Chains A and B, each alone.
Chain A
Amino acid sequence: MSAPGNAMDSLSAALKCNIIPNQEYLLQGSVLDQYVEVLLHRLRGLCDNVDSGPESFHDHELCFSLRIANTGATTPMSVFSLRVRRALDVSDTPYQLRYIGQQELGDKNRPTVVRSSIDMACSSTIVDFLTELGCRVDFEYIARGYMFRKGRMKITVSKIFKMGGNKPGETVEPISQSYLVELSVLAPSGQDAIAEDMRIFAEQLRPLVQLEKIDYKRLGNIM
């Protein structure tokens, strides 16, 4: 029994020392299909992985949600969501389980959205495991595109597809005429300096892409 205890101890120690990269700094935007080549070209010039070319990916993401009823009738039940991502183009890669917390927009002076994020690799049985836990698939999509790196920053340019049938691999259709562009960094909390670097990098992609802080709550009202 000592081993798990030790693991928990070292985890909490790591948390205390603030070395776990559990904060995601995020900016989002999009680019129309016909200009994506221009954007990719520019990113190739700006980013680190110049020689190897852009890294492509083709992923399937499932978003699970677990509803936990709170005791007491006045409080609404809380929804807890987890994301499972798997590569469709490369077999024998692990699945990725990801928790994304509430996003904090902060005030005007903060250049990016900050949200807590925990990633881990797992095996394909995670889907069954989550289902057994009582999680239900909330929605799913397929993302296909390119990934770039610039220092600690990660830039993804991806097309989002809606699943056609109930099973992946059947006909998929793009949900818009644009590519989703995301600029993100995973860092331990309190490293706000990186956000400034991201703002500067985002400036370099204008006016091709407007990378911005996007408020999910406001989106919910608009659409």
Chain B
Amino acid sequence: MQQREEKQLDSALESIIQRVNDLKQSIAAMIFKLENEYETMNWPSFLDNYALISGQLTSLSKVMSHDKCPVLRNLTVLPLMLSPERDEQLAQTTEHRVTTFAHDLVPDYLRTKLEPLAETKMLQLENKAVGLQYDNAQKQIATYQKVVSHVWDIVSKAREEWEVESSSRGNTQQNSSVADTHLLVAAVGMGKGLKMNPNGQANPTSGGMMVAPSGRPGGAPGQGQIPPTTQAMNKAPSAIKTNIKSAAQMHPYGR
């Protein structure tokens, strides 16, 4: 009987130690990240770390509350020897955090009760609770419940409104129009709707004007090769310019 209990204790302790070590490692990794990568670290990775730690805490508390786990509260740790000397083995097992097993440190490390300060505070509160009148307590509970339910009402109402709003927005509200996007991109990229001569009716006349100065020096030699619609639109101003020029040149000979 005794042996079985001891075995159980051993296995429980082993799994607890393993969980605690995992926890320690992930906390150390997080501290390392905070200290060394605080410039590049982002929230998602920080929260990932946090989730990992909280998961490990949950599994630790699961192990401790397992049926097979003996009630640790009933066990005591008995310090056999205290010494102010440096203990190398202890330092090694604690990664140099605890170097001596001395009188001033042991009460803190082996503490199973709350700190004296916290303990007195708890005691005070418990006394206050005990000394409270039944009627008074009931009244306080009632008012408290009233306040809480009021807040609850406000929150749930706000949530309802928010949900209605977001669902209606998701269905009907449109913030951008694909047609407008295409219009704008085509305008900025290719000049759709921005060109000098947007209406097609002017094309034949300006196209006719283009023909006259075809022999002008520096004129684009390949004019005939491109479709007249685009060319006329782009070249219209130059055609006008050339016409004036050639007319000016002709005048002296006319006189």
Give Cα A146–Cα B192 distance, bound, in whole angstroms: 23
A28 engages B190 (CB within 8 Å)? no
* A-B interface pairs (CB < 8 A), number: 113
* Contact bitstring A159-180, B, C-beta under 8 A = 1, else 0: 0101100000000000111101
Given A30-B181, A32-B180, A223-B182, check contact A38 B190 (CB 8 Å). no
User: Nearest chain-B residue to A166 (Cβ)?
Assistant: B196
B222 engages A139 (CB within 8 Å)? no
Give Cα A70–Cα B182 distance, bound, in whole angstroms: 32
Given A77-B222, A136-B235, A141-B188, check contact A32 B176 (CB 8 Å). yes
B225 to chain A, nearest CB (A): 6
Give Cα A60–Cα B48 distance, bound, in whole angstroms: 48
Q: Residue A207 at the B interface, CB < 8 A?
A: yes
Give Cα A28–Cα B190 distance, bound, in whole angstroms: 14
Q: Residue A1 at the B interface, CB < 8 A?
A: no
A69 engages B221 (CB within 8 Å)? yes
Contact of B180 among A77, A137, A178, A222 (CB under 8 A): A178
Give Cα A32–Cα B226 distance, bound, in whole angstroms: 38
Report, as a range, how many residues of chain A touch the other chain: 35 or more
A163 to chain B, nearest CB (A): 8
Stretch at the interface among A6-14, A187-195, A208-216: A208-216
Q: Residue B189 at the A interface, CB < 8 A?
A: yes
* Contact bitstring B220-247, A, C-beta under 8 A = 1, else 0: 1110011000000011011000000000
* Contact bitstring A9-45, B, C-beta under 8 A = 1, else 0: 0000000000000000000111110010011000000
A29 engages B176 (CB within 8 Å)? yes
Q: Residue A134 at the B interface, CB < 8 A?
A: yes
A208 engages B175 (CB within 8 Å)? yes
Residues of B with C-beta under 8 A to A67: 220, 222, 226
11 intermolecular pairs with C-beta atoms under 8 Å apart: A29-B181, A76-B225, A77-B222, A138-B234, A177-B180, A178-B177, A180-B181, A207-B175, A208-B176, A216-B190, A220-B186
- A residues within 8 Å of B by Cβ? 28-32, 35, 38-39, 63, 65, 67, 69-70, 73, 76-77, 134, 136-141, 143, 160, 162-163, 175-178, 180, 207-210, 212, 214, 216, 219-220, 222-223
